[in-house]
Structure 1
């Protein structure tokens, strides 16, 4: 009996040990993958997307780990796509010429691109107070609040630091359709406004320039038809009509030339040219004008001047415009000096007259359509005001440059330069 009890006790102890070992083994095989899944979940929460448990079991825990790995991969793909879209949007906003300014309902700046910083002329946007101050002075903040409160878009033009800025304001909503702020698009429309003003001025000037000769022609024709013009004055009337018709023809021709130059439809044929010979050819055609005013013509042409690669007809037209102005605005027995010279890089042509000169503040406007320096002083001088506009564009298409220097009452110097062949 004693041996029996001893064997029974030993058997029980063996079974307890075996059961404990088996329980420990199976519990560890269950808790270990669960702990690993828990660790992976915590890493995922920290932003380590795409983490995998690498647990491969054919039971419920294996299915759970497989689902977790799939979720992690899907989340990584989605987050990468979101970052990709965010980067694209950020690059688009950064590269835009228009300024973008995002503001929340508390008027705090959420985001701003470099173009907005440049347009508002601030060094950076760290000091949002400065930008808010600028917007307040322009009355933009008040309009922005009104736009987001009424859930409408607004467009406002404001003058700021010699610029015309267009502010477009739009509210921004969340997925619950609640307004959480707004976006302000800032566009610099100074050039557009300037072009619009130039268009208006051009139409006005064309109308004015055409109206004068048309009024004279109409008045003279009505006078002839009504019998108010005596027979002996018919010839003088016809001469006046022909003169005004020629004036209209010149204006139309100049406008057509200007249109071709601006639309790049002018045919240019470049050849090697002797500049001195071209100047002499041009002066032969202008000799009657020079003789009529007894102009003292002085030629200072450099010998052995290098050949110029240019268009003969267009360069001649350019010289005619400058020489005609020099003759036109010079007094009788005035001086017209033409010089040519060269250096290592360029060939130069200078035309100097002893005319009425141009005010310094008006030199920068020469070349604009229909602009005439001081109309009061030039009202008795014929011209369309398009000559220098054509010359300015001719110089450009001929790959040259020109500079005007003038002093009121002392004359004008025009320097044209072209690169050597």
Structure 2
């Protein structure tokens, strides 16, 4: 078979290679799934409305919608294959778990995109050995295929430092002769990634709060321990006030993210004029623009209909992007603001000739606490949460944000907001 990213089910070849019979009964399948639940810490299976939850309580249900139809598909007659093919393709394409069926010779008979992704399977990998021996040569298909009907086995493979527990189960043909092996790969990579992100987030929050607190305590102790002239006291108090404001902004941003994450933030959508919102936002930042002697040019490229979103949310995003352009553009810079309409979305395009963002950092700028230059960000009062909040807000409102940038040339930000409910 030709194996692409999507499943190609050559039913004629499969029927020649595998003369199978479905795993014999629900008790056997139930035992297989129970064994699977014992060996895995977390099993997440999602496939449209078919896959909802896999757990011990639902093992019989899952046996009906996964293992039973998979094996029935492998042994179905030609006249039954068309409908079976459609149903199995839906299941295999949309599940986040990896599923691979090998024939008696160890060649791939069925494989879904999730399996290719989880095990990093290349187009050249066409057999059991190609896939698993690059991780562990001790995994032997011959031993698996001759397991008893009522048993399965789990082997651990390490992919990019992440351990995956792969469940192997043999299946037999009508004459009860071993016909192949099914491999089931749970998607715990996303879980581990999210867990690592959580740990990093806690560490970042601790660090970001500790820095201003340390500064405030240091300057406060200094003032309390000695006598200083009025000018020095003002300077010290200025630092304390600045760090306190920075800490307050960080806490505000964290609370905002928490509300968004927990769906506690109420989205109050309404129709409003996006062009007017941009002008109002620009007016709010007039003092900052004047301080840096920036020139701002405004353009309306089309007859823009009213947008439909949470007005306060969108203004927060626009203010954040404009503030970044003002801060990270050297004095006397040029900022161009375009408002236009394309398809069902209105858009705001903000272009500056500032310091720019390195290409390697562009794919991470929406991560929480990620900053291209931490020292520079702290100098300008940045927390590393602004763009993360902007993206979350736009996602909730059905919009989007895209950023292009070149170091030394400037940055272009495009914000899209829907015009229809």
The TM-score, its normalising length taken from structure 1, stands at 0.66
In the alignment, which residue of structure 1 is the partner of 2:164? 166
Q: Distance in 2 between matches of 1:303 and 1:117?
A: 46
Cα deviation for residue 170 of structure 1 reads 7.9
Could you list the structure 1 runs, at least 4 aligned residues long, displaced by more than 4 angstroms after superposition.
79-87, 92-97, 99-103, 107-113, 122-125, 142-149, 151-155, 168-172, 180-185, 376-379
Alignment CA distance shift 1:156-1:200 (3 Å): same
**Offset of residue 111 of structure 1:** 10
Unaligned runs of 5+ in 2: 1-20, 30-62, 72-87, 171-177
Note if 1:191 corresponds to 2:190: yes
The runs of 5 or more residues in structure 1 that have no matched partner are: 1-78, 173-179
1:134 is the counterpart of 2:131: yes
Larger radius of gyration: 1
Alpha carbons 2:136, 2:157 under 8 Å: kept = no
Q: Could you tell me how far 1:204 is from its partner in structure 2?
A: 2.1
Q: 1:140 to 1:236 in 2, by over 3 A?
A: same
Corresponding position of 2:69 = 91
Contact 1:346 1:417 in 2 (8 A): yes
In the TM superposition, residue 305 of structure 1 has moved relative to its aligned partner by 3.0
Match of 1:228 in 2: 226
Partner of 2:37: none
Please identify, of 291-300 and 376-385, the stretch whose mean Cα deviation from structure 2 is larger. Answer: 376-385
More helix per residue: 1 or 2? 1
Per the TM alignment, residue 114 of structure 1 is displaced from its structure 2 partner at its CA by 3.2
Kept after mapping to 1: 8 A contact 2:377/2:383: no
Secondary structure of 2:253's match?
helix
Q: Structure 1 CA distance, aligned partners of 2:391 and 2:350?
A: 15
Q: Deviations over 1:167-197 (max 9, x none)?
A: 246899xxxxxxx999864334322222122
Superposition deviation, residue 264 in structure 1 = 2.2
The C-alpha deviation readout for 1:252-286, integer Å capped at 9, x for no partner, is 00011111122222111122211222112112211
Match of 1:20 in 2: none
- Structure-2 change in CA distance of 1:122 and 1:336 (3 Å): closer
Rounded to whole Å, the distance in 2 between the matches of 1:146 and 1:256 is 55
Q: In the alignment, is the contact (CA less than 8 A) between 2:101 and 2:109 conserved in 1? A: yes
| Deviation readout 1:202-234 (Å, 9 max, x if unpaired) | 122212211211110111122233x23525333
Worse-superposed segment, 188-197 or 201-210: 188-197
The answer to whether the 8 A contact 2:345-2:418 is kept is: yes
Partner Cα separation in structure 2 for residue 101 and residue 307 of structure 1: 50
Alpha-carbon deviation of 1:135? 2.1
TM-score w.r.t. the length of structure 2 is 0.66
Structure 2: distance between partners of 1:200 and 1:251: 18
Aligned residue runs from structure 1 range 51-70, under 5 A: none
Residues 336, 83 of structure 1: alpha-carbon distance in 2 compared, 3 angstrom cutoff: same
Bigger RCO (CA 8 Å, 6+ sep): 2
Where do residues 4-403 of structure 1 align in structure 2 (5 Å cutoff)? Answer: 88=64, 89-91=67-69, 95=91, 97=95, 98-99=97-98, 114-115=111-112, 118=116, 120=119, 121=121, 130-139=127-136, 141=138, 156-159=156-159, 164=162, 166-168=164-166, 185-225=184-224, 227-228=225-226, 230-232=228-230, 233-302=232-301, 304-375=303-374, 378=377, 380-403=379-402
Aligned to 1:70: none
Deviations 1:32-80 (A, max 9, x none): xxxxxxxxxxxxxxxxxxxxxxxxxxxxxxxxxxxxxxxxxxxxxxx99
- Distance verdict in 2 for CA 1:298–1:224, change over 3 Å: same
Alpha-carbon RMSD? 4.1
Is the partner of 1:141 in helix, strand or coil?
coil
Distance, in Å, in 2 between the alignment partners of 1:403 and 1:213 is 32
- How many residue pairs align between the two structures? 329
CA offsets, 1:67-124, max 9 Å, x none?
xxxxxxxxxxxx9995677794432787575446799xxx976998635864542679
Distance in 2 (alpha carbons) for counterparts of 1:80 and 1:329: 64
Partners of 1:153 and 1:230 lie apart in 2 by 75
